[in-house]
Structure 1
């Protein structure tokens, strides 16, 4: 069973033949990266201050915060399925992505009015609904504009630009809190203005209907030819002609994608393996907010520096996103994906040990950033040789939802464990669970090396 296929070997590697130039990134990837950069400045300004704002200023318990954090991630997971299917059905990925970005921007100023757990939960749920609507269509536009063999690099470039915004957001929040009297309100207000700018860039500069669809078809055919057919052929035939990586690209006369066609993707063994592994590992992946709270408490980080902790993760993510994506294209995406989770396990061990040294903070943040560089773009890149073009957004949504729902459960469980037993036992349980899940995932993926 495959988590993903390795990219096809170069067409000619014989002596005397020069290797071709490094593949260029499609313009739509760069424009979408710019949109994500601006949007992430807005989102991470809020994310950087929200844990401390809720726990310290509003006095939320870890269980209450874990519930809100679960809502923050869980709602987007459920909506991803709707966004992915609608984007494939109406054949307009830009429209669905724009609606998602717009809804998130509208929710930012509402945080100024939210003071109770119910109100905050509602606002965060709406904001995450916007994220859920936009994620699969956006990633589908990236995937469809890039040949299969270079998916890792394309997603790495996008995630690097996205992470630049994630790096600038906490820095902006830190500066605003230092300069403004009503710091949290100022952060929420500026965040709303920046989010509107991101929507404008999307509307004005991202190509419209049909852009990028089929742009990677030739590369997709080449990329899957040497990837191994695995065991999904019979399932694809049973699900209909639409289910298969070499299915015809969407055309003007093709009927709208039906829900039954999207659900038939689950009959593909490789897609089920990918979704199952992502969900299994997500069940023990502690959310970013909890990681930063643990680091602040167990390593003695002052509250005035708390908003800069996400900046450390973002810097490492930015530096490693493209190299990790290119490495995944060469050696196999499942290997890089699993290695990223092992790095996260090392970060958990450092937090549990919490040695009396100033190095624990940069080490944990470096491992946290490396984890995202090895997983965030590699996971969607793995789908290019598995899911047909006309169902690409739906396939991305299925895998993304499985992972996000697992992380939603982890947030609720971790918050409850922290409240009942303390942060140390809760983290130890997560670390033990992650080790077991990583071992199981490695065993599931082992046959892939023999079948290639």
Structure 2
């Protein structure tokens, strides 16, 4: 089946009879997810092992190993998370225009795989910045086409579940990556080089699985089939005239401007809780574990009660994590025992819950707000606004930390996040917030 799909051979059209039930399922039970979702989940799992191996050691490598200041690290971290925004629109639009979402995703995964061995050669700030920019270019190219494939392969009322399964598999890789990085740092003579080398090999395996097992064309109509017009760049950018999509993009942008990047959260937690350097690489592991456990349940919950509610609830969880970090750094922290007993577990659980409630849920909501022939571009618009906002937030938080210190900078971020969440609550639910409404 995969070979036939990847060559673009259409399957014979079959008209289902009324009340037909999928083979192997009982009435009232959920049907199994399509092969496209599971195959892309496998690719993401393998690729995330590679990416998270690097992400787990990169903050310590740059700050402790190369001696970068918080402002310098903020610039690099913003680059790492924000450059992809510049090419996501191109990736989403080209996937729609060509009808070749798999091709664009494959190019993106390939670019990121090439960057892993280049980290072995980069030892200066400009060189590392260039490698990270190229890596994020690959991520930008692949993200919207990959999510478009997922949304087109799932029924509208099952999109939250489909993205939840994909994100859970993706996060399984994020669980394995930091463990491998931790073991390599402890066992290899030159730990950082070993991490980058193994990461490159794993990334190459992910590209191979994509080429062999992911269908080449998503189920659904060809570009322009719905009659809404030619898939052009102008039409793609004009999607923001759609009220539902514009509202989602605005919320993602506002909340992204108030989101402290993962690396800063881990650095703040390490300093507040007094965690030794040798355990630092395991902090992303706890976030990934919470994400893994909660992604599918929260995806299903979003399908039932509304994706906007779950999305905003995730930001409230992040706000609670900021509050715990601020409380632990206050004058009464020593009397509560919070830094050494509860703080790391509570913060990382809330941090992972934030991602489980927002990452795939936002894409499931955006997919219902755009037509199928513009699915990649529509998702890319929302992703781009969020990525640019987080790029700005990373630089701003790094600068605030450098000038004011860590705790005042976090207090400002928490206040802004609370205000942005309240504002998004006032915008009201979108018409495509749930599959039933759509």
Q: How many residues align?
A: 400
Question: 1:103 and 1:49 mapped to 2: Cα distance?
Answer: 21
Partner of 1:86: 94
> Is residue 73 from structure 1 mapped to residue 84 from structure 2 by the alignment?
no
Kindly state the Cα deviation for residue 110 of structure 1 after the two structures are TM-superposed.
Answer: 0.5
Kindly state the Cα deviation for residue 213 of structure 1 after the two structures are TM-superposed.
Answer: 3.1
Kindly state the Cα deviation for residue 23 of structure 1 after the two structures are TM-superposed.
Answer: 2.9
Q: How does 1:181-200 map to 2 (within 5 A)?
A: 181-200=189-208
Partner-residue secondary structure (3-state), 1:112: coil
Question: 1:211 and 1:336 mapped to 2: Cα distance?
Answer: 27
Aligned match of 1:413 in 385, 396, 401?
396
Kindly state the Cα deviation for residue 24 of structure 1 after the two structures are TM-superposed.
Answer: 1.8
Q: How does 1:215-234 map to 2 (within 5 A)?
A: none
Partner of 2:146: 138
Question: 2:273 and 2:170 mapped to 1: Cα distance?
Answer: 28
User: Contact conserved, 1:145 with 1:214, CA < 8 A, in 2?
Assistant: no
The RMSD of aligned alpha carbons is: 1.8
Aligned match of 1:360 in 325, 332, 343?
343
Aligned match of 1:205 in 194, 208, 213?
213
Question: 1:156 and 1:178 mapped to 2: Cα distance?
Answer: 33
Partner of 1:154: 162
Partner of 2:15: none
Question: 1:144 and 1:22 mapped to 2: Cα distance?
Answer: 18
Kindly state the Cα deviation for residue 212 of structure 1 after the two structures are TM-superposed.
Answer: 2.5
TM-score (norm 2): 0.89
Kindly state the Cα deviation for residue 249 of structure 1 after the two structures are TM-superposed.
Answer: 8.0
* Worse-superposed segment, 76-85 or 93-102: 76-85
Partner of 2:42: 34
> Is residue 383 from structure 1 mapped to residue 361 from structure 2 by the alignment?
no
Question: 2:120 and 2:243 mapped to 1: Cα distance?
Answer: 46
> CA deviation digits over 1:324-381, x for unaligned, max 9?
0000000000000000000000000011111333110000000000000000100000
Partner of 1:309: 283
> CA deviation digits over 1:28-86, x for unaligned, max 9?
10000000000000000000000000000100000000000000011111110110011
> CA deviation digits over 1:178-222, x for unaligned, max 9?
1001000100010000000000000011111x332349xxxxxxx
Partner-residue secondary structure (3-state), 2:367: coil
Partner of 1:229: none
> Is residue 248 from structure 1 mapped to residue 230 from structure 2 by the alignment?
no
Unpaired stretches in structure 1, ≥5 consecutive residues: 1-10, 12-17, 216-240
Kindly state the Cα deviation for residue 104 of structure 1 after the two structures are TM-superposed.
Answer: 0.3
Q: How does 1:248-397 map to 2 (within 5 A)?
A: 248=226, 257-354=231-328, 355=333, 356-357=337-338, 358-397=341-380
Question: 2:54 and 2:227 mapped to 1: Cα distance?
Answer: 40
Partner of 1:237: none
> Is residue 439 from structure 1 mapped to residue 422 from structure 2 by the alignment?
yes
Question: 2:220 and 2:123 mapped to 1: Cα distance?
Answer: 44
Question: 1:343 and 1:249 mapped to 2: Cα distance?
Answer: 42
Kindly state the Cα deviation for residue 447 of structure 1 after the two structures are TM-superposed.
Answer: 8.6
